[in-house]
């Protein structure tokens, strides 16, 4: 690590521990959440439901870990699939992306399939926690040591916990498993509206339970401290042993 990296690390750690910065971030988050801030972006033409900071963090992880396969649960309009495919294209090699969604709308499928990066993408329609769906994904992961998993589908505790149990098996030491929308735990209950998740029942509660019972993963706090604005606080999990 050179002086520049060391200095950055020091500032990031101090910033992450700065209560005033944390408070301001949370206030900003709450003030913009009601305007559906994360819905307003596209990646290479497709709507991507992510915070720009998380997009940058995913790019850093892809560059650092060079995944041979990226597995994503929750496709929506496909922006995150295109993002993953574009990163794999840029780093070279023959890395592939597989996306799973319980409801792939026809117009979204058409747009994804005719995108210039479609050659790297496979889509599976079905529930991410369906055993048959998982077996199909596991077959695609066979022989690929470096797998990156991103969970962004149904955000209830029960669903994410099951996804964690299944998809964590695909990730080896040095790899990452990213759980989105852990931020729901920090947001006022009314922000979740009529959805079946909310404070107390969401991706973060699932991650906490998973980590209590699993010693292969730990939270990469440096990413949290650096991003501050993220839909996945405590959701960047690094695999520390096979």
Ligand X SMILES: C[S@@+](CC[C@H](N)C(=O)[O-])C[C@H]1O[C@@H](n2cnc3c(N)ncnc32)[C@H](O)[C@@H]1O
> Which residue do the tokens 């889509």 mark?
123
- 136-155: which residues touch ligand X (CB under 6 A)? 152-154
Its sign, for the CA torsion 87, 92, 94, 95, is negative
Report the residue number, 73 or 205, with the smaller CB distance to ligand X: 73
Helices 203-213 and 157-167: angle between axes, nearest 10 degrees: 40
The shares of helix, strand and coil residues in the chain, as percent rounded to the nearest 5, are 50, 15, 35
Q: What's the min distance (Å) between Cβ of 235 and ligand X? A: 13
Phi, psi of 132 (to 5 degrees): -65, -40
Q: Is 168 in the site for ligand X (CB under 6 A)?
A: no
**Per-position x/- string for 169-208, each x denoting binding to ligand X as judged by CB under 6 A, each - no binding:** ----------------------------------------
Q: Is 100 in the site for ligand X (CB under 6 A)?
A: yes
Report the residue number, 24 or 44, with the smaller CB distance to ligand X: 44
Q: Is 86 in the site for ligand X (CB under 6 A)?
A: no
Report the residue number, 80 or 202, with the smaller CB distance to ligand X: 80
Q: Is 102 in the site for ligand X (CB under 6 A)?
A: yes
* Sheet (strand 217-219) strand order: 121-125, 96-101, 69-73, 147-151, 176-179, 236-239, 217-219
Whether residue 173 contacts residue 241, with contact meaning beta carbons closer than 8 Å, is answered with yes
**Side-chain-facing half-sphere of 45: CA atoms under 13 Å:** 10
Report the residue number, 100 or 228, with the smaller CB distance to ligand X: 100
Whether residue 199 contacts residue 151, with contact meaning beta carbons closer than 8 Å, is answered with no
Report the residue number, 80 or 230, with the smaller CB distance to ligand X: 80
Among 27, 60, 103, 242, binds ligand X (CB under 6 A): 103
Size of the site for ligand X (CB under 6 A): 18
Q: Is 95 in the site for ligand X (CB under 6 A)?
A: no
Task: Provide the 3-class DSSP secondary structure of residue 187.
Answer: coil
Enumerate residues 6+ apart whose C-beta is below 8 A from 109: 123
**Per-position x/- string for 51-80, each x denoting binding to ligand X as judged by CB under 6 A, each - no binding:** ----------------------xxxx--xx
Among 84, 128, 182, 205, binds ligand X (CB under 6 A): 128
Q: Is 118 exposed, middle or buried (0-12, 13-18, 19+ CB in 10 A)?
A: middle
Q: What's the min distance (Å) between Cβ of 55 and ligand X? A: 9
Report the residue number, 126 or 199, with the smaller CB distance to ligand X: 126
What are the residues binding ligand X (CB under 6 A)? 48-50, 73-76, 79-80, 100-103, 127-128, 152-154
């Amino acid at each position: 690590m050179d002086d520049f990296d060391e200095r950055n690390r020091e500032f990031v750690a101090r910033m992450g521990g700065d209560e005033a910065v944390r408070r301001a971030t949370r206030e900003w988050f709450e003030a913009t959440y009601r305007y559906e801030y994360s819905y307003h972006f596209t990646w290479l033409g497709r709507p991507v439901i992510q915070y720009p900071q998380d997009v940058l963090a995913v790019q850093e992880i892809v560059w650092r870990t060079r995944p041979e396969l990226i597995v994503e649960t929750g496709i929506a309009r496909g922006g995150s699939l295109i993002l993953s495919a574009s990163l794999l294209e840029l780093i070279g090699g023959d890395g592939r992306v597989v996306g799973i969604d319980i409801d792939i709308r026809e117009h979204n499928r058409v747009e994804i399939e005719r995108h210039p990066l479609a050659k790297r993408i496979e889509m599976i329609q079905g529930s991410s926690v369906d055993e048959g769906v998982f077996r199909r994904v596991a077959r695609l992961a066979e022989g690929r040591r470096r797998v990156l998993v991103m969970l962004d589908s149904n955000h209830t505790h029960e669903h994410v916990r099951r996804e964690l149990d299944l998809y964590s098996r695909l990730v080896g030491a040095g790899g990452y498993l990213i759980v989105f929308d852990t931020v729901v735990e920090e947001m006022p209950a009314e922000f979740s509206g009529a959805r079946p998740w909310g404070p107390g029942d969401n991706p973060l509660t699932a991650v906490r339970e998973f980590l209590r019972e699993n010693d292969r993963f730990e939270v990469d706090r440096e990413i949290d401290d650096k991003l501050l604005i993220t839909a996945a606080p405590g959701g960047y999990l690094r695999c520390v042993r096979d």
